Amino acid sequence: MTAHDAIAACGLNGGAQANKTLTRSLLTTRMPYVLADADDMQSLIALDPATAAAVIDVLFHGRVYHYDATDATTAHDGVTCLVSAEGRRYKLAVGSSVDVYAVLSFSTTAPPGSPALGDAYLLPAGCTGAWAGHEGAIAVDTARGWEYITVPVGRPIYVEDVASFYHRDAAGNWTLGLGTQLFGANAVPPSALLNLKAGGILKVINKTTNAPPGSPAVGDAYVIGAAPTGAWAGKSLQIALCEAAGTWSYYVPSAGDEVYDSAVGAKAVYSGSAWVTRTAGLDLISTQAAAGVASIDFTGLDDTYDTYVLDIASAKPASDGVSAGLRVGTGATPTWVTSGYGYSCTALSDSAVASAVAVMLGNTAARIFLGATGNIETAGTGLISAKVGNASGENFRCTIEFSNPEAADLILIDFKGSYINDTGDLVMFSGSGLRRTAGAITAIRFLFGAGNISTGRFTLYGRRKS
């Protein structure tokens, strides 16, 4: 056992006389030194020159600061570190800091004029006045004025004016949110997600299995078959999902729920009474809006889809009285083909004169012409223009379709559409074209015979494989 220093200092042992030196040392080392609010710690001589005893603890603003004999460099900040006149560092004791869990704002840069006691702010960059130089700290209004708290890495703070949490990351920056990996892998079952049931998010192994597999892996899922047995009995068409090792959770589908059936490589949609496999149909690939460009190009065509469909809406040429056309590209770059096209097209016009019909043919053209290439012969009354106009309301509309662009063969391209010519007449057309050299095509290009495309919307679709 160790006797208290007061016993030796005050002569309490066997009538011994009090020892002034020991008493002085006792008062210095065993009693915390209390600083008044107005005291300057940096003026305090903490080391007793007569006894070499030193103050161990300092009380300041109601908090305890403990001497750190290992630190000779930390600067005095009056909050977390107090430095005495001779350079001794006293650190704010664990548990003595002001606790702040919420702040009013993370955007206020100047101290408010009349804060309420306890008001706290997370200080952003560019602070002014008393807050200058304290960016990243929390400023709290106390009876002693503003105090500044530097919180540890990972500490979340709720910011009231944006109703969000921020956290201090490893670099010391305040970052919106609580960080990544809030939940472990497989921790949230589909049933816990609002309006997003298993039928809308799962890849199932198949939708024909009737007996539950004996050793399913976590994440395995099935649409239960038409004649279920065992644990699946009575659950036909429901989705069975292994959410924990060796156990199944069941989800009753609603009309419109989707799964991906791995066994057939296609999506299935629940109709309300059955799971229907989706096979044929169009997928949107991309859309482009023309605005004063020479051409509209779609590249990267391959065997992903059986058929590609290009829809052209409200295309208007910059030049009046021009023809519309299509070219193909080959190779990855691609290289655009500018000769050797064949095409045939029939065009009809609603001209006020007698029936206007034209048949256009070509087998060595510089492009596939979409519509008439020149004038349309009318029945005994001469010619009318068949070129695309660019006045108000004179637009070009067309649907282009082709299949198997990856084939080393002649690729047939079919088209049909309508436009208003440069004299205001309606022209309807349909036809086909091709590049007369066999080989895969990787791109298509729409262009007018002269000038740019002023406006227009161009959308490429792919028809899913059956």
Span 217-232, pLDDT tens digits:
888 899 999 999 999 9
In angstroms, the CA 120 to CA 343 distance is 76
Strands 368-370 and 275-277: unpaired
In angstroms, the CA 86 to CA 43 distance is 9
Share of the chain above pLDDT 90, in %: 42
pLDDT at 379 over 50: no
pLDDT tens track for 111-152: 999 998 779 999 999 999 999 999 999 998 875 578 888 888
Partnered with residue 289 across adjacent β-strands are 457
Average pLDDT, the chain: 84
pTM score of the predicted model: 0.46
Give the mean pLDDT of 234-240. Answer: 94
Omega before 111 within 30 of 0, i.e. cis:
no
At 98 the pLDDT is 60
- What count of other Cβ atoms lies within 10 Å of the Cβ of residue 149? 19
Share of the chain above pLDDT 70, in %: 84
In which residue are the tokens 């770059």 written?
Answer: 333
Sorted by sequence, the CB contacts under 8 Å of residue 432 that are 6+ apart come out as: 343, 344, 345, 412, 413, 414, 415
In angstroms, the CA 274 to CA 82 distance is 75
**26 phi and psi angles, rounded to 5 deg:** -60, -45
pLDDT at 377 over 50: no
Sorted by sequence, the CB contacts under 8 Å of residue 2 that are 6+ apart come out as: none
User: Which tokens belong to 196?
Assistant: 């997003």
CA–centroid distance for 14 within its chain: 80
User: Which tokens belong to 404?
Assistant: 């198997």
pLDDT at 91 over 50: yes
pLDDT interval class at 255 (50, 70, 90): confident
pLDDT interval class at 352 (50, 70, 90): low
Count of residues making up the chain: 466
pLDDT interval class at 355 (50, 70, 90): very low
- What count of other Cβ atoms lies within 10 Å of the Cβ of residue 342? 16
- What count of other Cβ atoms lies within 10 Å of the Cβ of residue 75? 8
pLDDT at 192 over 90: no
